[in-house]
Amino acid sequence: MDEADRRLLRRCRVRLVGELQVASLWDALLNRELFTPDMIEDIQHAGSGSRRDQARQLVTDLETRGKQALPLFISCLEDTGQDTLASFLRTSRQAVSRDPEALVSVVLAPTGSKTEEPRVTKRDLWQPAQGKLTPMVLGPEELTPAQRRPEFLRPELPRPVDTGGFRDVRAQERLRGNTDLAYVMDADPCGYCLIVNNVNFCPASRLSLRTGSHVDCEKLQHRFRQLHFSVEVKCDLSAKQMVQALTELAQRDHRALDCCVVVILSHGCQASHLQFPGAIYGTDGRSVSVERIVNIFNGTHCPGLGGKPKLFFIQACGGEQRDHGFEVTLSSPEDRGSSSDPEPDAAPFQEGARSSDQLDAMSSLPTPSDILVSYSTFPGFVSWRDVKSGSWYIETLDGVLEQWAHSEDLQSLLLRVANAVAERGVYNKQIPGCFNFLRKKLFFKT
| Residue 173: other Cβ atoms inside 10 A | 19
Report how far residue 241's alpha carbon sits from residue 92's, in angstroms, rounded to the nearest whole number.
47
| Residue 271: other Cβ atoms inside 10 A | 28
CB contact set of 322 (below 8 Å; sequence gap of 6+): 344, 381, 382, 428
Residue 272 DSSP class: -
Query: Would you call 317 a catalytic residue per the annotation?
Result: yes
Catalytic annotation, pick one of 12, 76, 193, 317: 317
Give the SS3 label for residue 191.
Answer: strand
Q: Residue 266, class by beta-carbon neighbours within 10 Å (0-12 exposed, 13-18 middle, 19+ buried)? A: buried
CB-CB contact of 301 with 434 (8 Å): no
> Directed axis angle between helix 37-44 and helix 51-62, to 10°?
140
Helices (H), 21-165: 26-31, 37-44, 51-62, 69-79, 83-98
Catalytic annotation, pick one of 12, 76, 259, 267: 267
Q: Residue 51, class by beta-carbon neighbours within 10 Å (0-12 exposed, 13-18 middle, 19+ buried)? A: middle
Report how far residue 52's alpha carbon sits from residue 58's, in angstroms, rounded to the nearest whole number.
10
Query: Would you call 267 a catalytic residue per the annotation?
Result: yes
Which amino acid appears at position 4 of this protein?
A
Write out the DSSP string of 18-60. Answer: HH---TTTHHHHHHTTSS-HHHHHHHHTSTT--HHHHHHHHHH
CB contact set of 244 (below 8 Å; sequence gap of 6+): none
Report how far residue 263's alpha carbon sits from residue 251's, in angstroms, rounded to the nearest whole number.
17
| Residue 334: other Cβ atoms inside 10 A | 10
Three-state SS for 366-389 is CCCCCEEEEECCCCCECCEEECCC
Report how far residue 283's alpha carbon sits from residue 424's, in angstroms, rounded to the nearest whole number.
29
Helices (H), 66-200: 69-79, 83-98, 166-176
The residues that are catalytic are 267, 317
